[in-house]
Amino acid sequence: MTTLIILLIALGIVLGVADIRRNLISKPVFQIFKKILPPMSSTEREAMEAGSVWWEGDLFKGNPDWQKLHNYPKAELSQEEQDFMDNQVETLLSMLDDYKIVHEHKDLPKEVWEYLRKEGFFAMIIPKAYGGREFSAIANSTIVSRISTRSLSAAVTVMVPNSLGPGELLNHYGTQEQKDYWLPRLADGTDIPCFALTGPDAGSDAGAIPDTGVVCKGMHEGEEVLGLRLNFEKRYITLAPVATVLGLAFKMYDPDGLLGDKQDLGITCALIPTDHEGVETGERHYPVNMAFMNGTTRGKDVFIPLDWIIGGPDYAGRGWRMLVECLSAGRGISLPALATANAHLCSRTTGAYAAVRKQFGLSIGKFEGIEEAMGRIGGSTYTLEAMRKMTAGAIDSGESPSVVTAIAKYHMTEMSREIINDAMDIHAGKGVQMGPKNYLGHQYFGTPVAITVEGANILTRNLMIFGQGATRCHPYVFSEMEAAANPDFEQGLKDFDGLLIKHVSYAAGNFFNALFHGLTGGHFKASAMSGETADYYKQLSRMSKGLALCSDFSMLMLGGDLKRKEMISARLGDVLSQLYIASAVLRRYEEDGRQAADLPFVHYSVQRCLYKIGVAFDGFFQNFPNRFVAVVMKRTVFPWGIGYEMPADAITQKVSRQLMEPGVMRDRLTHLCHIGEEADDPVAIVENAFIAMHENAPIEKKILKAQKDKQIARKLPFEDMVNAALEKSVITESEAEQLRRAEQLRQVAVAVDNYAPGEIEKLGLQATKKRSKAA
């Protein structure tokens, strides 16, 4: 007993007396930390410091405040934004024929371009003071989503000027003179913008761009001024072939010291008219057969004055920080909008098609294999809409959450890819035969576009989500890194000492909490909500604690090697991502009033998130380099094993059947999907057949009963069956006509496009002539 008391006193002295603790504990740890910590480049620091930490911070720290989640403002359209949706957007949709846009024009028709300019579709993010519409992020997202269900090429054309580019950068960083000149011109469509970042040798590694701007003197408007001599070559630049103003990212150098002592100033952004001497645009790429404008731009020895730098000379070298801070528009609004639109379209049409397409005398949607795929489509659609609204809502509330937008970009576009694959499988031949009747083909072709841009998905998952999350969201790591990078050793040690004690306490709390909730299955943890979702909050809180614990162990054991162990860190990023996705689903369920019809979708979505969390943790434990530590972590977080499973078949079938049932739930799930009023609109064709067949269900039941009673023979051709039912007075004449009308609609709905001999070749020849004439 005496020995124990002495040990406790000694421990108290070591930990409680700052000088003793600093020399015996903090200093050795600090020296090790400095050695294992890799040097932080300026671009890495700017990426880590940019933006804000939002709900993902709660999830990463192991103690999410669920009430805070539900108290975030609801993302809603204003009356002005809703009016724009009901009028201008609907008018635009009526002007679009996506088949002709893609296969005949290879561009939007001139009248569509003019309408987009005139009605401010390119000015959604520009303030009203400059003639813009100044719409919210949720409005921007909703508009792009709605357009995308009609034409992906049109949606991308609208999306780009309202995403990362000149308008966004000018709003945040432009000088007053730049704003006064450029923003009104962008707002009324006088100028069409593009932004050139990616080049042949610098895509995801934007910090390695070889394009240069060298400070020098040159002639501009008849006067010698201080400026930049630019040399650049860019590709994959959307709208570049038609742009009149070019946003350009380049590395800025001042070898002659004309601006000061620093020679390498860093990445800088400038705004340049495309008709400026030396600038080349006009060449087109042809991205996956889509018709939106995309191409190259280059320039050799292009001289521009310094005040063409966005933000003026004071913003020289600050371009990377500017870009990272503004990436939320593309990652958090535009690309999630495209993914969600694809889901709404696929859910609406696949549910309808599965009902009208028959095999073996049954609608194919009644086969369990089809139900499984439709369950994935419906569950993912509910999830995507939840993520779209929650992420856009964060941006509207003033946040710029770089980790959340990276999660949204990666996981939403990947879910969209899974959805379109399932929809194509179910549609089979209907999905692969291209022509005016095909409503899925262009979405299928265009899916890789969203996956590739704004940071390719492999990079986003493996380097960004956990890489930024571990430093931005952790309560102490980034501050510890700053202390270690301090050239003043003593001051750095002093800062580190205070952080270390807090970090140790934080880690110990996570360890014991994770172990307790692991042993008890999380059942003793309080739930934020009651009812059928109560246990989900407990399990997600438990997994949040597990993530905090495993992140600390990983950073402690692997140090700077962790960012090179991409498969290890990516799995921790997957855990964080699935926690965010499940949060969005639960928030949507509460926000929409806890509707009973939503529960199958909620159960499917959250259970799948928990299952994927388990898979990610299992892969992490299996592959963690230190096997002893891996076992300790696993036995702490999952002492009884990982018990999460994919949703039961019964839940999957409930989701699937709701896609095949006309009504409020189906309408709410797919409310962004455009259904044209034209007789030849492909979505309207399958929808009308679906409704007609549903209305026929009571009549078909009469016939089925008559067949069971052997009044009518089974497996008769359709018209013979109808006539036999009439003859036996099973149905009335009006009911027979109703059946015939529905069958006609069904036949049209399952039909695919046919071409006469030479017709396809003729279409290709016409398109070639149009391209040659345009050139």
Q: DSSP readout, 642-686?
A: ----PPPHHHHHHHHHHHTS-SHHHHHHTTT-----STT-HHHHH
Q: How far apart are the first and last CA of the chain?
A: 93
Question: Which residue reads 């965010």 in tokens?
Answer: 580
Give the integer Cα–Cα distance in Å for 174 and 168: 9
Backbone φ and ψ for 560, nearest 5 degrees, come out as -65, -20
547, 558, 573, 403: which is closest to 473 by C-alpha?
403
Q: Looking at 46, 134, 454, 480, which residue is catalytic?
A: 454
Query: Active site includes 480?
Result: no
Nearest to 464 by CA among 331, 358, 277: 331
Give, in degrees to the nearest 5, the angle at Cα 367 between 366 and 370. 100
C-alpha dihedral sign at 282, 286, 287, 290: positive
266 with 323: CB under 8 angstroms? no
Instruction: Give me the torsion for CA of 555, 560, 561, 563, rounded to 10°.
Output: 80
Give the amino acid at 580: Y
* Cβ(290)–Cβ(449) below 8 Å: yes
d(CA 467, CA 49): 13
Choose among 323, 320, 329: nearest CA to 399. 329
C-beta of residue 350 within 8 angstroms of C-beta of residue 686 = no
Q: How far is CA 448 from CA 206, 296, 312, 407, 455, in A?
A: 20, 19, 36, 17, 12
Q: Identity (one letter) of the amino acid at 133?
A: R
767 touches 286 (CB < 8 A): no
Contact 133, 84 (CB under 8 A): yes
Q: List, in order, residues 6 or more apart from 302 with CB less than 8 Å away.
A: 229, 230, 231, 232, 272, 276, 277, 278, 279
Which residues are part of the catalytic machinery? 454
